[in-house]
Amino acid sequence: MTGMTASQVGRWDSPSPVAPAAGKGGPDAVPMEGGYLVHRIVPDDNSCLFSSVALVFEQSISRAPMMRQIVADAIRRDPETWNEAILGRSREDYISTILKPSSWGGAIELTILAVHYSTEIASVDVETGRIDHFTPPAERDSGNRCVLVYSGIHYDAASLAPMADAPADFHQTIVPVTSAGDEDPMLVAAKKLADVLRAKKAYTNTATFDLRCQICKKGLKGEKEARAHASETGHVQFGEY
């Protein structure tokens, strides 16, 4: 069963040819100019967002706790932006929760991390192909972008490699933005990668999946009921089952 907090339930929103994977059962990849966009899978351990961002910016999923600390520090420093209304609960409760390895991250965390690294984080939704853009303010924007892959309940990273089976040391996780909108080659490839994963049913529909409140054990159906339960009870820890 996968744990999550109320702010992470849901989003805050013909397959392309697949390149040879890096060995049987390896990650999927799609061709693009300059190489292949490769699906970089991280553990399904409730820290997937933080592991994916750590892989992109720090080249190691072991830095996931550092990503949590960056988020906590940013919320602590800016009570005006990250107030109780935005966070959905008290600031101190949110901060203490997000520092726990069992808590998922979502739009709030991606927004903060995009600002911290001065880099757009583009998250492609496997089920719909929609791309959500988390961008730093113009004065802090480096003009670069990275890509995450979102299954509905899990985040992975994506990176550009010269060959589909190239070692990780040869992967480029941050690339310059070269075109406006979703016509950028990196984003076109990200949508194709989502097509491949969608064909494998590698996503969860958050409107219909079954959840259980980990505090009172009540069964819930989908994002809408989970959010309503959180609002009524203050319970913010859920698990999929």
Domain boundaries, the chain: 2-240
229 as an active site residue: the answer is: no
Q: How is domain 2-240 classified at the architecture level of CATH? A: Alpha-Beta Complex (3.90)
Q: Of 28, 125, 146, 154, which is the active-site residue?
A: 154
Q: What is the pLDDT of residues 136-182, one digit of tens each?
A: 999 999 999 999 999 988 999 999 999 999 999 999 999 999 987 88
Q: Flag whether pLDDT at 8 surpasses 80.
A: no
Q: Of 44, 45, 93, 141, which is the active-site residue?
A: 45
Q: What is the pLDDT of residues 106-134, one digit of tens each?
A: 999 999 999 999 999 999 999 999 999 99
213 as an active site residue: the answer is: no
Residue 112: predicted pLDDT? 98
Q: Flag whether pLDDT at 36 surpasses 70.
A: yes
State the Cα–Cα distance between residues 128 and 205, nearest whole angstrom. 10
**190 and 147 Cβ atoms separated by less than 8 Å:** yes
State the Cα–Cα distance between residues 96 and 80, nearest whole angstrom. 18
48 as an active site residue: the answer is: yes
Per the DSSP assignment, residues forming a β-bridge with 214 are none
Weakest mean pLDDT among 33-42, 75-84, 163-172, 198-207: 198-207
State the Cα–Cα distance between residues 226 and 2, nearest whole angstrom. 14
Q: Of 28, 48, 171, 213, which is the active-site residue?
A: 48
Q: Flag whether pLDDT at 52 surpasses 70.
A: yes
State the Cα–Cα distance between residues 114 and 118, nearest whole angstrom. 6
146 as an active site residue: the answer is: no
pTM equals 0.79
Q: What is the pLDDT of residues 202-233, one digit of tens each?
A: 766 655 567 778 789 888 776 667 767 776 78
